[in-house]
Structure 1
Amino acid sequence: MVEASATPDSVMVMLVGGATLLAILVRHVFARLRLPALVGYILIGLGLRLGHDVIPILDPAVRGAFDLLAALGLVALLFRVGLGSNPQRLLSKLPGASVIWLFSVIVSGLAGYYAARWAGFDLVPSLVAGVALTATSIGVALPPWQAAGALGSEQGSLVLDVAELDDISGVVLMALLLGIIPTLTAGSGIAWTGVLTTSAGLVMSLAAFTAGCYAFARWLEPPLTRALLQHERAPARMMIVVAMGSLIAALAGMLGFSLAIGALFAGLMFSKAPRRIHRDRAYIVLYDFLSPFFFIGIGLKLEPAALTGALGAGGLLLVAAVLGKVIGTALPAWLVAPRGSVLVIATSMVPRAEISMVIIDQAGRYGTDVVPPTLYGGMTMVALATCAVTPGIVERLLAVERADPGGPDQPASGR
């Protein structure tokens, strides 16, 4: 009896430990290949899913463990996005960046929606695809700029500002979409009055939650971080911040929002904390352990039989993902950035990774009527393709720009 009852736990620990080791190996190998590690993480999950078809190892207990780790990885990802943002700097840059951001979100969202409709998806799945394609990926877009030493240039700062706004607005749009999905999918028809009423209630709730987060960041966070610096040593002080961030994320989920928006707002609340807290080694280790499991979970949810059927939908969504961001970013960037930098700025917005897959994953919790397996597979293909190819293209474009006296290493003249 003891041996039999211990077997599921042993398999669970073995798979989690093996996945962790593979994630570390993927991080090193993909760094040498200059590819985002998340591509490898998704492939790890897909490998486990395919392995399960040969040897059934993913019983409910094991899947439950991976689901829990994926949820914690989601919180870690969005908390870090918020923690790395600078709301005050964003507000100061808003007049210039907001034109590009708003146009980019509208164009890429519409491109994603109509591409999904053309691929044969119904209204709600198409809305999910449209919202998912509004976001970009800071983690994929910025490393080529950092490697080129151009992130501090005016163009590099513009890319950072627009990417951060894309991610924040993507999470907010996701919260609104998730709130109205039950209304959109209820009954045989869509009651647009109910949708508008639900949307208005969600906006008011989100505004109240935002006000509460602002009050915490304005009056409670500064004395809290001072007390942590005075009375706690690393790693305890960062662990307290992470614990509070997890509680805020859970509160957002209980209020009807997702863990994702709670984790993002929690990170924003602590974004002004001193760097000694941000760069605490304990948090880096915790993040490195948990974050891969979100993407491993994406791979685990892929239906192998649906991947072939997702090729057509994935191709259409990939075209929409590229054209939506390139056109949506390049046109307004033509007005506020040097013309020689417009293409590299627009191309930097193409990658879809963390936020896009968070939106698909969270919407997928409502069932296959909201996110069919072909849409899930197609969006995963978009993430893999844009993340694998775009950094190399941006790197080459930046190399051309460095040879140009008006390139990103020089101050932008603006127009």
Structure 2
Amino acid sequence: MIQASATPDSLLVLLVGGVTLLAIVLKHLCERLRIPALVGYILIGLGLRLLHDVVPLLSPAVQGAFDLLAALGLVALLFRVGLGSNPRRLLDKLPGASLIWLISVLVSGAVGYYAARWAGFDNVPALVAGVALTATSIGVALPPWQAAGALRSEQGALVLDVAELDDISGVVLMALLLAIIPTLTGGNGVDWMAASTTGASLLASLAAFTAGCYAFAHWVEPPMTRALIRRERSPTRMLIVVAVGSLIAALAGMLGFSLAVGALFAGLVFSKAPRKIRQDRGYRVLYDFLTPFFFIGIGLKLEPEALTGALSAGAILLVAAVLGKLVGTALPARFMAPRSSALVIAMSMVPRAEIAMVIVDQAGRYGPGVVPPALYGAMTVVTLATCAITPSIVQRQLAANPITPPNLTGPDQPPSR
């Protein structure tokens, strides 16, 4: 039998190597099944947690190392979300996409909150669920549109714009939520005045931080990336960019915004960098290694004894997740796109993946009073179900009602970011 306490370093290397190999295998399997790889990653973490109940593998040292890898995976994940966004294009498209985005966020958040309350959760956990359910997943929503050759259409661009706005607003709402949680969980009841003051202070600080990031992106990033392209080769130049992005993420964390917010803003800072920087293969290798550990960490945090209760709550939140986005997106989409495509646009917003679980995971740091084990498990159920089922439904909808992009002259790819 493996003695976890005898050789912690050897055990850690064994587990990291084995988990990395298993993640690669499950990634290919999930691709064949046409489901997101994060489903497999979460199951790896859950399997490791169940195995620990039989063989004590997760010593404090090993658990600490996995927590560190999960934190690095979180930074890599949100950095890439920001890096893949195009703030200028979003601003240009904002008049068309903002109505759908705003109604979608309001409706899905409200439906998620009241569904969580109906499932038996207290006010603060229900608020966490509502904020988490405002987000969607670009990575899950877009592949069916690419496969159908419809991503370059007006409807495809609209899906991309709304999904990006959902992700960015989800992270900003998370920052606001994390700032006011201490005032919402005080022993003397909810102090709405203190919560409002804290929220206003955070928004002011976030505005200042955003201005600083804009100044960096405008005056520092262009000459920096040009110098890197001239003087450094891959992967060194991308490692320097990642190091600078990590400093920005750490600064945001020290200012109280969390690493997730900082990583997103760091990615946005470099989102206008030349393609040689943004699509450097060196970062892809780093991303592919680290990101699975964030989702594996989610599986590790699932408590097996709470899973039974999580299934019933997860079913309620799953219905809320689907209805919130379908109603909140389809209704305004009928006025912004052809009515025949409103439903498929809405269905493309249903998947909840990385951003939703980032919100739950970060709020969970405040303890079980904020994110009870049943809620953590329920949101994981929502993630697994929406990511596994939605892509095939969207694919069938696009096949039944084909959307032809105008002047398509090459392979259908996401717009240049």
Q: Give the letter aligned to residue 66 of structure 1.
A: F
Residue type of the partner of 1:80?
R
Cα contact 2:4–2:11 (8 A) shared by 1: no
Secondary structure of the structure 2 residue equivalent to 1:151:
coil
CA offsets, 1:353-377, max 9 Å, x none?
Answer: 0000000000000000000000000
Q: Does the 8 Å CA contact 2:149/2:404 hold for their aligned counterparts? A: no
Q: 1:280 to 1:143 in 2, by over 3 A?
A: same
CA distance in 2, matches of 1:288, 1:4: 27
Shift of 1:74: 0.2
Residue 150 of structure 2: aligned partner = 150
Distance 1:5 1:308 in 2: 31
Contact 2:8 2:61 in 1 (8 A): yes
Q: Which residue of 1 aligns with 2:266?
A: 266
Aligned pairs for 1:213-228 (under 5 A) are 213-228=213-228
**Structure 1: which 4+ aligned runs deviate by more than 3 Å?**
3-6, 408-411
Over aligned residues, Cα RMSD in angstroms? 1.2
For residue 188 of structure 1, report the CA deviation from its aligned partner.
2.4
Could you list the per-position Cα deviations for residues 211-254 of structure 1 after superposition, in whole angstroms to 9, with x for gaps in the alignment? 10011011111111111111111111000000111111011000
Q: Is the 8 A contact 2:85 2:268 kept in 1?
A: yes
**1:352 paired residue number:** 352
Q: Structure 2: how far apart are the matches of 1:182 and 1:197?
A: 12
SS in 2 for 1:225: helix
Task: Please say if residues 154 and 408 of structure 1, whose CA atoms lie closer than 8 Å, have aligned partners that are also in contact.
Answer: no
CA-to-partner distance for each residue in 1:340-399, whole Å, 9 max, x for gaps? 111110000000000000000000000000000000000000000000000000011111
Looking at structure 2, the residues matched to 50 and 354 of structure 1 have their Cα atoms a distance apart, in angstroms, of 23
Please report how far the alpha carbon of residue 409 of structure 1 lies from its aligned counterpart in structure 2 after TM superposition. 3.5
Aligned residue for 2:371, secondary structure, equals coil
3-state secondary structure, aligned to 2:78: helix
Kept after mapping to 2: 8 A contact 1:156/1:408: no
- The alignment covers a number of residue pairs equal to 405
TM-score of the superposition, structure 1-length normalised?
A: 0.96
Counterpart residue number, 2:371: 371
Partner SS state of residue 142, structure 1: helix
The alignment's TM-score, normalised by the length of structure 2, stands at: 0.96
- One-letter code aligned to 1:240: I
**Stretch moving more, 145-154 or 174-183:** 145-154
List runs of 5+ in structure 2 lacking aligned partners. Answer: 408-417
Task: Name structure 1 gaps, 5 residues minimum.
Answer: none
Offset of residue 187 of structure 1: 1.8
Q: Report the counterpart of residue 200 of structure 2 in structure 1.
A: 200
* Counterpart check, 1:334 vs 2:313: no
3-state SS of the aligned residue for 2:53? helix
Task: Note the C-alpha offset of 1:5.
Answer: 7.7
Amino acid at match of 1:145: W
For 1:149 and 1:76, the matched residues in 2 are separated by: 29
Alignment of 1:292-331 (within 5 A): 292-331=292-331
Q: Which residue of the partner structure matches residue 257 of structure 2? A: 257
Asked if the contact 1:178–1:363 (Cα under 8 Å) also holds between the matched residues in 2, the reply is: yes
Structure 1: which amino acid aligns with 2:331? L
Contact 2:4 2:59 in 1 (8 A): no
Equivalent residue, structure 2, for 1:140: 140
The residue number in structure 1 matching 2:82 is 82
Counterpart Cα distance in 1 of 2:189 and 2:27: 47
- Cα-to-partner distance string for 1:5-27 (whole Å, 9 max, x where unaligned): 86111111101111100010011
